[in-house]
Amino acid sequence: MNVEYKIPVDYTREKKRVTVIGCGRWGSFLAWYSDQLGHKVTVYGIAGDPTYENFVMTRKNGYVKFPQSIELTSDIVRAVKNADVIIVSVPSQAFRNVMKELRAKTDTSGKYLVTCMKGVEISTGKRLSEIAIEFGMEPWQIAVWAGPGHVQEFVVGNPNCMVIDSYERTTIERIVEYFKSPLIRFYYGNDIIGTEIGAAAKNVMGIVAGVLDGMNLVTLKGALMARGSREVSRLIGKLGGNPLSAYGLCHLGDYETTLFSPHSHNRTWGENYVKGKKFELLAEGVHTARALSLLADKLGVDMPITSAVNTMILEKVPPRQIMEQLLERSLKEDI
């Protein structure tokens, strides 16, 4: 895919030095997008990693082409030293390793850290912002970028709405000002717990949607949208967040992108699973189902859909049997 869309120039925008850690599908888009906005962009990748080395050799992947204004480096110190904003887009289970490297080799004081992936750590049940705080980041430094959107749509100029959340309102406002454009309309988040959990959990629901597609049970997606959001809202509330966040852009607002789009990795993973095909690309919902199931069990929160996905994956229970078990559960109130 060749990128031809150009974001209109905003001469009033405050230009920043932006470092993107990770150069996969979303990370490469964020680098391209930040450059389009006029920021000075550096992309950090691991030397020897095929994705990074491909950019070094060709400066492009199947989604974007980097202009010469974007710097590529495998030196984390060089990448972070002068950055105002550090955007992280790596698999969620690798985020702790990123924070370890940042803590050991760089000085992140005074810099914003924006997480742009969706997940919960399996071993601890921690949200990504909690891991960042564990490694010395101040709450005001941390922002979460979530909500619907596919790279394939953005790069051809199809706009969408997303949400920025943080522990501090001032941080939200600044990150929005740095990255808003006609391509992405941002909303201000007001519940970082709900935003992180909701964004992570929608990938689990994406796997279920793919399973339904694979079994030709598409009509059940309506029930999935309603009941999936309901169980996620229970977990958010138990963790101290606002249950209504599950019905905002971070979760329910992202369902069209995740439950129906052919671009969704999680939906495709679920469909392929039913059909006995392998899906080699990253599907965060696989790990998130495990993490959220463990967290729900620990807190005593009923999350039958999430638990069913985890059981299907770990115990190799046939999808049809999982679906029958869900439909045979004892009757519940609708709300």
Gap between the Cα atoms of 222 and 255, Å rounded: 11
Helices in the chain by DSSP H: which ranges?
25-36, 50-58, 76-81, 95-105, 128-134, 151-154, 169-179, 192-214, 221-238, 255, 265-275, 284-299, 304-314, 319-327
Q: Are residues 80 and 106 in contact, defined by beta-carbon separation less than 8 angstroms?
A: yes
Lookup: tokens for 52: 């990074």
Three-class secondary structure of residue 18 per DSSP: strand
Give me the amino acid identity at 329. Answer: R
DSSP code string of 173-192: HHHHHHH--SSEEEEE-S-H
| Cβ neighbour number for residue 252 with a 10 Å cutoff | 21
CA distance to 115, 164, 239, 283, per residue, from 126 (Å): 14, 19, 11, 19
Q: Are residues 81 and 112 in contact, defined by beta-carbon separation less than 8 angstroms?
A: no
Gap between the Cα atoms of 268 and 131, Å rounded: 29
Q: Which residues are marked as active site?
A: 202
CA 329 to chain CA centroid, Å, is: 31
